[in-house]
């Protein structure tokens, strides 16, 4: 036990030092090469090729994590939402008619399995030929229903169940159904991803940071976030943000995010240029409320409950 503690301590120090720099350097260049590729392909073909999109199908969750990266527990009870299938279909259709390809969609929440239409949402997403891979992200506190399994097994090469493994948090062990979900997936030839449970990075409380435009751009570039995310808005529309936390800030009425710069609305009037300009933007107001780069150098037990 003592040796393991020493090894973990050394790894933590490395992760906060040289490993942090190496990993962020890789992510930095991967992120910016993807943005350059998007611009090049649009100039060449007039088509949008998106790399990644996370979709919050519900803000309801079985857990209330203190360090939730999307700040989902901070959304007030009367402002929580679950997308109906009809809403989801409309949002996705408005996006897909403006793009040529979307490499990866991650369906999440909250806990997506709490959405009563999640089976229809999964199947409709998997049907879209423009979308190449679909991940269902679950915290493994809810079992996969027969209808969800049925939807996933129809597209074995395209679908993955991605388990957020919180088993390092001993307080949650009695609630986790990881083994059962893995067994169901294996029986039905569904790809399942269940990585080892790692420590989390803490999430600082929302606070405004004085950064001018160039400082804010530098912060965004160093973050190199690939976590472009979609939230449903109070008026019934939906919007795409640079990360899910940025969307939560808007839901909480924090900041001065500007439509068509800090986010774009998934309505019938959406234009390709809005999607391109959003991905090429580097000065997001939400970044001024973030301390992620410093938080990422620290570690805490995963899914500590409020």
- Structure confidence at residue 223 (pLDDT): 83
Domain containing 110 — which CATH number? 3.20.20
Pairing type for strands 229-232 and 49-56 reads parallel
Separation in Å, CA 176 to CA 47, 86, 141, 142, 172:
43, 31, 5, 8, 6
Burial of 239 (0-12, 13-18, 19+ CB in 10 A): buried
Residue with tokens 């260049």, as numbered in its chain? 29
pLDDT in tens, the chain (306 residues): 444 444 444 333 443 345 445 555 656 666 778 888 999 999 999 999 999 999 999 999 999 999 999 999 999 999 999 999 999 999 999 999 999 999 999 999 999 999 999 999 999 999 999 999 999 999 999 999 999 999 999 999 999 999 999 999 999 999 999 999 999 999 999 999 999 998 999 999 999 999 999 999 999 988 866 689 999 999 999 999 999 999 999 999 999 999 999 999 999 999 999 999 999 999 999 999 999 888 877 899 999 999
- Structure confidence at residue 4 (pLDDT): 43
Q: Which of 286, 262, 288, 260 is nearest to 273 (CA)?
A: 260
- Structure confidence at residue 21 (pLDDT): 54
Q: 219 with 287: CB under 8 angstroms?
A: yes
Sequence-distant (6+) residues with CB within 8 A of 57 are 82, 83, 88, 107, 108, 109, 110, 112, 115, 118, 121
- Structure confidence at residue 22 (pLDDT): 53
Domain that holds residue 91: 2-295
- Structure confidence at residue 33 (pLDDT): 80
281 lies in a domain?
Answer: yes
CB atoms under 10 Å from CB of 123, counted, come to 19
In the chain, the number of structural domains is: 1
CA dist., res. 176 & res. 178, Å (int): 6
CA dist., res. 306 & res. 304, Å (int): 7
270 lies in a domain?
Answer: yes
Sequence-distant (6+) residues with CB within 8 A of 154 are 123, 126
306 lies in a domain?
Answer: no
Q: How far is CA 232 from the centre of its chain?
A: 14
142 lies in a domain?
Answer: yes
Phi, psi dihedral angles at 232 (to 5 degrees): -80, 140
120 lies in a domain?
Answer: yes
Phi, psi dihedral angles at 77 (to 5 degrees): -55, -40
304 lies in a domain?
Answer: no
- Structure confidence at residue 99 (pLDDT): 98
301 lies in a domain?
Answer: no
CA dist., res. 206 & res. 272, Å (int): 32
pTM of the full predicted structure? 0.90
261 lies in a domain?
Answer: yes
């Amino acid at each position: 036990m003592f040796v393991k503690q020493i090894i973990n301590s050394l790894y933590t120090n490395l992760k906060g030092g040289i490993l942090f720099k190496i990993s962020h350097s890789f992510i930095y260049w991967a992120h910016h090469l993807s943005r350059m590729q998007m611009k090049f392909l649009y100039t060449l073909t007039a088509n949008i090729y998106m790399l990644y999109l996370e979709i919050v199908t519900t803000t309801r969750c079985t857990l209330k994590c203190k360090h939730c990266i999307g700040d989902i527990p901070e959304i007030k009870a009367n402002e929580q939402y679950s997308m109906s299938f009809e809403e989801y279909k409309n949002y996705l259709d408005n996006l897909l008619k403006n793009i040529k390809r979307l490499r990866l969609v991650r369906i999440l929440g909250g806990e997506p399995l709490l959405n009563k239409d999640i089976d229809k949402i999964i199947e409709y997403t998997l049907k879209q030929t423009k979308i190449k891979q679909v991940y269902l992200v679950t915290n493994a506190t809810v079992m996969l229903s027969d209808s969800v399994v049925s939807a996933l097994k129809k597209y074995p090469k395209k679908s993955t169940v991605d388990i957020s493994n919180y088993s390092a948090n001993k307080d949650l062990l009695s609630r986790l159904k990881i083994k059962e979900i893995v067994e169901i997936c294996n029986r039905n030839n569904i790809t399942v991803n269940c990585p080892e449970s790692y420590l989390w990075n803490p999430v600082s409380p929302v606070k405004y940071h004085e950064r001018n435009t160039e400082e804010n751009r530098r912060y965004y570039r160093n973050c190199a976030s690939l976590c472009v995310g979609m939230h449903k808005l109070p008026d019934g529309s939906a919007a795409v943000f640079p990360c899910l936390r940025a969307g939560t800030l808007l839901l909480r009425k924090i900041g001065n995010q500007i439509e068509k710069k800090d986010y774009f609305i998934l309505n019938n009037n959406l234009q390709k240029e809005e999607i391109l300009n959003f991905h090429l933007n580097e000065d997001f107001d939400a970044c001024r409320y973030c301390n992620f780069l410093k938080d990422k150098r620290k570690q805490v037990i995963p899914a500590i409950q409020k």
